[in-house]
Amino acid sequence: MCRFVVYKGTSPVELSHLLTKPCHSIINQAFDSRLRLDRRRPMNGDGFGVGWYDSVYDEESYQPCIFTSITPAWNNVNLVRLAEKIKSPLVLATTAGSLSLDNCHPFVHGRLMFMHNGGIADFPLVKRRLQADLPDVAFNKVQGNTDSEWAFALFLSKLPDPNAKSFTTALLRDAMFKTIASLNHYAEEAGITEPSLMNFCVTDGETVIATRYISSKTDEAASLWYSSGTTFSEFGGGGHYKMSKADKRENIIMVASEPLTFERADWMEIKTNNMVVVTPKMNLLQIPIVDKFYVPPSDPASLTRTTEFAREKGLLVPRGMETMESEELH
């Protein structure tokens, strides 16, 4: 199962501080994952991708740059070279790839970038049904053959205008809710009982939407964490990084499949079947995805689906995080 990380900051970050330098960077997670649900396969050498936006904002041409490869992430010299030269205030990186560049995340349409950690259960059984619901603009965008790219096409179909020059946070949030609901509907129609793992992430360069979701009331979703503060920097050498918080401002927000540091206080686990929204003004909100698979925090069963795996692996035991909603979404 792939790993991903998204960085949003008030100032650009050098890509190497996310991709290569931290001792548990996204690249190192490709061969040393600690929180994969599939513990039999600790390595992911099937390619990778990174996307970023130019540091100079231009609404007319604010489209992401993408670098993908089918080689193992830890063995790509060009990635190391680029990471030490490129800076951006918003970065998406993932170890999701395959033997075809068309299947490497992140996927792009206009100013939107999308990536997925997980899998749509029995996808061939719902693929034709999903395709039938897509308008031409979404259907024709798909170049590869992964469930993830078709999920992105479905997401595009939920937007009033996927070619728009700007999107409100509420619009992106609602499109993500509808995407998950539609995938669940297709599965129910097809009689699929195997749960789907839907850790999705989408951004337009201003807003970030990420989900930690599984279509089950009992199984565990793929891991997802967040960290925020004023500076993210190396200390003591050896690739040891930490998130510092000098005041109440949030200059940096990161969402990742696995923590990039081993500092216990740096990271908090996102609750299962919740959506994380990072607004253009750097507010982070966690919103429950309330459907038939949602287990409220008041139910004792919700506790067994979040930190059990992390404790079992001897990793972080995060602090709690309150569920929030805000008019900021609009």
Which residues are annotated as catalytic?
A: 2
CB-CB contact of 26 with 2 (8 Å)? no
The token pair at 282 is: 């750097």
User: What are the φ/ψ torsions at residue 275 (nearest 5 degrees)?
Assistant: -110, 135
Q: How do 48-52 and 87-94 pair as beta strands?
A: antiparallel
What's the rounded Cα separation, in Å, for the pair 282 and 111? 19
| 161, amino acid identity | D
CB-CB contact of 157 with 134 (8 Å)? yes
Whole-Å CA distances, 103 to 38, 50, 118, 148: 21, 13, 14, 9
CB-CB contact of 213 with 236 (8 Å)? no
Whole-Å CA distances, 309 to 35, 37, 212, 318: 7, 9, 15, 12
Map tokens 């649900």 to a residue.
37
First to last CA, the chain: 34
Helix (H) or strand (E) holding 202: strand 197-203
